[in-house]
């Protein structure tokens, strides 16, 4: 057994034995029965989700993985993809050009609002559908296939595994996406997107139909928290210069029209999706991935919000927190100071 | 320090793992006696036999497999709650009062052992099971009897223990293996580690032996136990320390127990 093998085994055992895992177990138990909200049903594939599915995964920026509940269960990434595709667009074109096409202003409007900035005709931010479609338009590639492959390769760098597009979900999104089609053509009218509108819409519907699990979401968040490098594989997923761009818009716009209250209560950059996922991060510390299909009225996973609220409060993860938290994160991760028995 | 009273105001339960690098060190016998010693002092004590490939400690507590249909294996396979696999063995160990000493045995059925070896199990489950057992039975002390050698289960039991006791015999193979285990235990940030020397020849000077071993490993020796035919004969059935409470060996167990109940 080499030193590396031992370290890996020791790290995995410490993750199992860590009081932090016990904390997550208790959190999972606390909210397992909290079934408020409703599963998204605008396409039949989403309506099939079992409201009881519930997974919590945390990956530290040091690469420790903590999983409780349904962390391997696959679901569609939906709007969570928007934050990461925005990072790819920044790498493709740089900050100035991307900013000229998509603003970074929170809207307070619903995610699917048909509204552009009146002065510049830019969509308000990359987290609303209009901004996400404009962002997808920016993804480079000679063909539709090439562009999708580049997106999937990017997600693979974040998650450390190959991801697939769920074809029935993609076709359903495409068949029912009239509103998104209208938004895209409105932006074409203003010259904010190129004329390959149908190809870009397909790409957008495909990016939303990528299958992920709670562990993937935690790994993606941990990668951002770790400066763009996947803490387990060591592979870079995003140029470090753009990490702050991505997490800034996650913080201000990531939770739909709940974003203001989210920053106030939780204070973590995050992105949610109607598939039931939330990805959230404490920069330099950890990434959180939650999966629970029932959504609240704002379209965010009800239990996912509860979990993030508790984690943020107990470990003092709020970005602007200066008070001593009831739980010291390092102690709970290593078990050195905390005793959860 | 955990309370000893019937009023049962227990602050924090303690997990004690008993391990040896090689087999044949008398680990199960040691575990049974130490657990019983603490139970006699009025603590609520649980023992889990995680030596799934070669279970044995149930014999010392006279728990016949026929009387224990639910085992640790049942829990690991999701067939029972872990507390359903806990049997009150206080009576067999010579403790009059019920609800003091519990054993969670491993299955001795060949099929069950083969199934665990073939499919393995999730160590997370084991960890969760320990915690559930401590809560459900309101234990003051949980003893984990491990399989000799190093495995994922060993690593887990070391990582979660408040006290790790390594048993060794005074011979070269045990010395070397114990050094490896101590090194690993330190890397896993073990909180408190104790050594126990078993099967020491009566001709040896125990004090010198103790001192030498402590110097070699930089770890305290909590007790030295003799290799004695008399003890082997007396211990062939039941738990030695309740049958012969005044024997030197029983007193040595009390010393080890004092290390465990001590603060920190």
A318: closest CA of chain B, how far (Å): 29
**pLDDT > 90? residue A114:** no
Q: Which is it for the CA torsion B24, B28, B33, B37, positive or negative?
A: positive
Asked if the C-beta of A339 comes within 8 angstroms of chain B's C-beta atoms, the answer is yes
- pLDDT-above-90 percentage for chain B: 64
Nearest to A25 among B128, B162, B187 (CB): B128
The helix/strand/coil state of A143 is coil
Token match 């640790």: residue? Answer: B72
Q: In which band, very low, low, confident or very high, does the pLDDT at A336 lie, cut at 50, 70 and 90? A: low
ipTM of the complex: 0.71
User: For the segment A287-325, what is each residue's pLDDT rounded down to a tens digit?
Assistant: 999 999 999 999 999 999 999 999 999 999 999 999 999
Round to whole Å and give the CA distance between B154 and B57: 17
Asked if the C-beta of A11 comes within 8 angstroms of chain B's C-beta atoms, the answer is no
**pLDDT > 80? residue A286:** yes
Determine whether the interchain pair A10/B12 forms a contact, defined as Cβ–Cβ distance below 8 Å: no
Token digits of residue A327: 């739980």
CB atoms within 10 A of CB B17: 28
Determine whether the interchain pair A14/B13 forms a contact, defined as Cβ–Cβ distance below 8 Å: no
Rounded mean pLDDT of A13-31? 89
Partner residues linked to A205 by β-bridges: none
Round to whole Å and give the CA distance between B198 and A87: 62
| Predicted local distance difference test score (pLDDT) of residue B132 | 92
Q: Which residues between 157 and 176 in chain B have a beta carbon less than 8 angstroms from any beta carbon of chain A?
A: 159-160, 162
- For B128, name the nearest residue in chain A, comparing CA atoms only: A22
| Predicted local distance difference test score (pLDDT) of residue B187 | 87
Rounded mean pLDDT of A60-68? 93
Q: In which band, very low, low, confident or very high, does the pLDDT at B71 lie, cut at 50, 70 and 90? A: very high
User: For the segment B149-161, what is each residue's pLDDT rounded down to a tens digit?
Assistant: 888 888 888 888 9
Q: Which is it for the CA torsion A289, A298, A113, A44, positive or negative?
A: positive
| Predicted local distance difference test score (pLDDT) of residue B235 | 64
Give CA separation, A238 vs A87, A161, A283, A300, in Å.
Answer: 7, 16, 14, 26
Partner residues linked to A76 by β-bridges: A211
Under 8 Å CB-to-CB from B229, ≥6 apart: which residues?
A: none
**pLDDT > 80? residue A28:** yes
Under 8 Å CB-to-CB from B99, ≥6 apart: which residues?
A: B44, B88, B90
| Predicted local distance difference test score (pLDDT) of residue B9 | 46
In 3-state terms chain B splits into helix, strand, coil percentages (rounded to 5) of 45, 15, 40
Better pLDDT: B128 or A110: B128
Q: In which band, very low, low, confident or very high, does the pLDDT at B7 lie, cut at 50, 70 and 90? A: very low
Q: How far is CA B216 from the centre of its chain?
A: 24
Q: How far is CA B258 from the centre of its chain?
A: 15
Give CA separation, B50 vs A86, A298, B75, B148, B157, in Å.
Answer: 50, 48, 12, 10, 9
| Predicted local distance difference test score (pLDDT) of residue B11 | 60
| Predicted local distance difference test score (pLDDT) of residue B2 | 42
Round to whole Å and give the CA distance between A11 and B238: 40
User: For the segment A123-145, what is each residue's pLDDT rounded down to a tens digit?
Assistant: 999 999 999 999 999 999 999 99
Collect all residues of chain B within an 8 Å Cβ-Cβ radius of residue A9.
Answer: 152, 155
Asked if the C-beta of B4 comes within 8 angstroms of chain A's C-beta atoms, the answer is no
Round to whole Å and give the CA distance between B45 and B38: 7
Determine whether the interchain pair A16/B15 forms a contact, defined as Cβ–Cβ distance below 8 Å: no
Token match 């030695």: residue? Answer: B240
Collect all residues of chain B within an 8 Å Cβ-Cβ radius of residue A16.
Answer: 123-124, 127, 156, 159
Rounded mean pLDDT of B149-175? 90
Round to whole Å and give the CA distance between B152 and A216: 25
Collect all residues of chain A within an 8 Å Cβ-Cβ radius of residue B123.
Answer: 13, 16
Name which of B133, B155, B192, B263 to mutate to probe chain A: the one with the most chain A Cβ atoms within 10 A of its Cβ. B155
A331: closest CA of chain B, how far (Å): 12
Better pLDDT: A114 or B246: B246
Collect all residues of chain A within an 8 Å Cβ-Cβ radius of residue B189.
Answer: 14, 334-336
**Residue B171 burial (10 A CB sphere; 0-12, 13-18, 19+):** exposed
Nearest to B131 among A9, A22, A334 (CB): A22
A10: closest CA of chain B, how far (Å): 7
| Predicted local distance difference test score (pLDDT) of residue A273 | 96
Q: In which band, very low, low, confident or very high, does the pLDDT at B258 lie, cut at 50, 70 and 90? A: very high
User: For the segment B93-146, what is each residue's pLDDT rounded down to a tens digit?
Assistant: 999 888 999 999 999 999 999 999 898 888 888 988 999 999 999 999 999 999
Of A68-72, B31-35, B81-85, B182-186, the range with the lowest mean pLDDT is: B182-186
B128: closest CA of chain A, how far (Å): 8
Q: Which residues between 142 and 181 in chain A have a beta carbon less than 8 angstroms from any beta carbon of chain B?
A: none
**pLDDT > 50? residue B10:** no
Under 8 Å CB-to-CB from A187, ≥6 apart: which residues?
A: A116, A121, A123, A130, A133, A134, A193
Rounded mean pLDDT of B240-251? 91
- For A336, name the nearest residue in chain B, comparing CA atoms only: B189
Asked if the C-beta of A8 comes within 8 angstroms of chain B's C-beta atoms, the answer is no
Collect all residues of chain B within an 8 Å Cβ-Cβ radius of residue A331.
Answer: none
Asked if the C-beta of A5 comes within 8 angstroms of chain B's C-beta atoms, the answer is no
| Predicted local distance difference test score (pLDDT) of residue B68 | 96
H or E, element range at A55? strand A55-60
A163: closest CA of chain B, how far (Å): 26
Rounded mean pLDDT of A188-193? 93
User: For the segment A203-255, what is each residue's pLDDT rounded down to a tens digit?
Assistant: 999 999 999 999 999 999 999 999 999 999 999 999 999 999 999 999 999 99
């Amino acid at each position: 057994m080499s030193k590396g093998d031992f370290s890996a085994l020791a790290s995995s055992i410490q993750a199992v034995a860590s009081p932090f895992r016990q904390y997550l177990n208790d959190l999972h138990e606390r909210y397992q029965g909290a079934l408020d909200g409703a599963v998204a049903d605008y396409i039949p594939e989403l309506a099939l989700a079992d409201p009881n599915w519930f997974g919590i995964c945390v990956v530290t920026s040091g690469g420790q993985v903590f999983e409780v509940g349904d962390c391997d269960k696959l679901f569609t990434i939906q709007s969570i993809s928007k934050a990461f595709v925005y990072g790819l667009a920044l790498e493709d074109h740089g900050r100035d050009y991307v900013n000229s096409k998509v603003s970074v202003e929170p809207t307070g409007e619903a995610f699917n609002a048909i509204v552009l900035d009146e002065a510049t005709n830019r969509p308000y931010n990359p987290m609303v559908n209009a901004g996400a479609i404009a962002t997808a338009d920016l993804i480079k590639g000679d063909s539709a296939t090439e562009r999708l492959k580049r997106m999937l390769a990017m997600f693979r760098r974040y998650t450390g595994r190959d991801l697939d597009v769920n074809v029935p979900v993609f076709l359903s999104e495409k068949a029912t996406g009239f509103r998104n089609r209208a938004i895209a053509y409105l932006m074409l009218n203003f010259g904010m997107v190129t004329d390959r509108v149908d190809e870009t819409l397909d790409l957008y519907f495909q990016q939303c139909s990528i299958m992920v699990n709670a562990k993937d979401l935690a790994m993606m968040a941990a990668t951002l928290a770790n400066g763009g490098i996947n803490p387990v594989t060591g592979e870079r997923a995003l140029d470090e210069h753009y990490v702050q761009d991505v997490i800034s818009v996650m913080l201000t716009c990531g939770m739909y029209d709940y974003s203001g209250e989210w920053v106030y209560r939780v204070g973590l950059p995050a992105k949610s999706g109607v598939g039931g996922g939330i990805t959230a991060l404490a920069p330099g510390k950890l990434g959180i991935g939650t999966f629970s299909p029932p959504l609240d009225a704002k379209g965010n996973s009800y239990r996912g919000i509860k979990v993030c609220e508790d984690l943020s409060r107990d470990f003092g993860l709020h970005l602007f927190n200066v008070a001593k938290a009831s739980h010291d994160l390092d102690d709970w991760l290593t078990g050195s100071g905390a005793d959860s028995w | 320090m955990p309370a000893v009273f019937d009023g049962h105001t227990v602050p924090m339960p303690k997990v004690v793992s008993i391990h040896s690098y090689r087999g044949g060190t008398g680990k199960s016998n040691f575990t049974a006696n130490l657990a019983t010693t603490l139970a006699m002092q009025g603590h609520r004590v649980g023992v889990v036999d995680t030596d799934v490939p070669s279970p044995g400690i149930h014999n010392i507590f006279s728990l016949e497999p026929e009387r224990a249909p639910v085992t640790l294996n049942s829990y690991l396979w999701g067939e029972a709650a872990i507390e359903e696999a806990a049997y009150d063995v206080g009576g067999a160990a010579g403790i009059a009062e019920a609800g003091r000493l519990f054993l969670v045995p491993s299955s001795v059925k060949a099929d069950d052992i083969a199934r665990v070896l073939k499919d393995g199990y999730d160590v997370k489950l084991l960890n969760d099971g320990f915690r559930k057992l401590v809560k459900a039975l309101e234990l003051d002390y949980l003893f984990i009897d491990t399989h000799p050698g190093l495995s994922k289960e060993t690593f887990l039991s070391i990582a979660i223990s408040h006290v790790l006791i390594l048993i060794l015999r005074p011979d070269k193979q045990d010395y070397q293996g114990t050094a490896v285990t101590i090194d690993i235990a330190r890397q896993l940030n073990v909180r408190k580690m104790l050594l126990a020397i078993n099967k020491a020849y009566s001709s040896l000077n125990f004090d010198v032996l103790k001192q030498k071993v402590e110097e070699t490993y930089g770890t305290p020796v909590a007790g030295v136990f003799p290799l004695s035919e008399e003890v082997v004969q007396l211990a062939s059935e039941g738990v030695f320390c309740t049958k012969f409470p005044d024997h030197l060996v029983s007193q040595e167990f009390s010393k080890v127990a004092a290390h465990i109940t001590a603060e920190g």
